[in-house]
Amino acid sequence: MAEQGEWWTAPAESDNGRLIMVTGRRDIKKFRENPHFNIRIEISWPYDGTGDGMPDKATSELMEKVQDALQEEFIKDPVAVLTGVYTGDNLRQWVFYSRSTHIFGRKINEILEQFPVLPIDIYCENDPDWAEYDEMASAEIKID
Report pLDDT digits (tens) over 60-99: 999 999 999 999 999 999 999 999 999 999 999 999 999 9
Q: Name the percent of the chain lying above pLDDT 90.
A: 87
CATH 3.30.70 fits 19-137, yes or no: yes
pLDDT surpassing 70 at residue 16: yes
| Per-residue pLDDT band at 142 (split at 50, 70, 90) | confident
Selection from 31, 118, 7, 140 nearest residue 79 by Cα: 31
Write the DSSP symbol of residue 40.
E
Say how far apart CA 126 and CA 119 lie, in whole Å. 24
What's residue 144's pLDDT? 63
Report pLDDT digits (tens) over 89-128: 999 999 999 999 999 999 999 999 999 999 999 999 999 9
Q: Where are the domains of the chain?
A: 19-137
6, 41, 52, 56, 114 from 88: Cα distances, Å:
22, 19, 8, 11, 25
Greatest Cα pair distance, the chain, in angstroms, is: 44
Say how far apart CA 42 and CA 139 lie, in whole Å. 18
**49-88 as b/e, with b when 16 or more CB fall inside 10 Å?**
beeebbbeeebbebbeebbebbbebbeeeebbbbbbbbbb
pLDDT surpassing 70 at residue 130: yes
